[in-house]
Every structure is written in C-alpha cells, then in structure tokens.
Amino acid sequence: MDSILKEAANRGVIVLVLVYNAPTMALNLDTKHTKKALESLSQNITVVTHPDQGIPKLYSHHEKMVLID
C-alpha cells in the first residue's frame, strides 16, 4: 500500500492519511512509526493521527475511506 501512495505522491498528488490511534488493549498500531514512515516517502504525503487523549470507548478501526478529487 505504501508503494502506491508513494507513486501517486511522486506524480504530484497530495496524499492525506488518517490513522486511528486504537487503545493498545485492542491493537497496537504504533501510529508514530506509521506517521514517520509514510511521511518520509514524499513531501506530498501528510499523516494525521487520532489524538492520544480522549479516545472514545466505542470506535471502529475498520473504517476505510478513499476520496479522489
């Protein structure tokens, strides 16, 4: 997946990624590593992570969204 994002970003596409910060009791997504790794691929990739505090008890890490404008 990261190679597809990198290829698009290198063609000038602005890539925005939202990474959910799931509680470690559910999953350990290591959002800081994910953000650093993806943003290092291209200046056109920006990763936004869910804040550490105030994670709601009910959420879904299964949500996926692709938007092409």
- Confirm if 16 and 48 have CB atoms less than 8 A apart: yes
Q: Say whether pTM exceeds 0.85.
A: no
* C-alpha–C-alpha distance, residues 45 and 32, integer Å: 15
Residue 17 lies in domain:
1-69
- Confirm if 47 and 20 have CB atoms less than 8 A apart: no
Residue range 16-32: mean pLDDT, rounded: 71
Number of structural domains in the chain: 1
Evaluate if residue 39 carries a pLDDT over 90.
yes
Percent of the chain predicted with pLDDT > 70: 58
Please state whether beta strands 45-49 and 15-19 pair in parallel, antiparallel, or not at all (unpaired): parallel
Residue range 32-56: mean pLDDT, rounded: 83
Of residues 63 and 20, more confidence is placed in: 20
Q: Is 38 exposed, middle or buried (0-12, 13-18, 19+ CB in 10 A)?
A: buried
Res 19: pLDDT: 80
Copy the structure tokens of residue 57. Answer: 């008890």
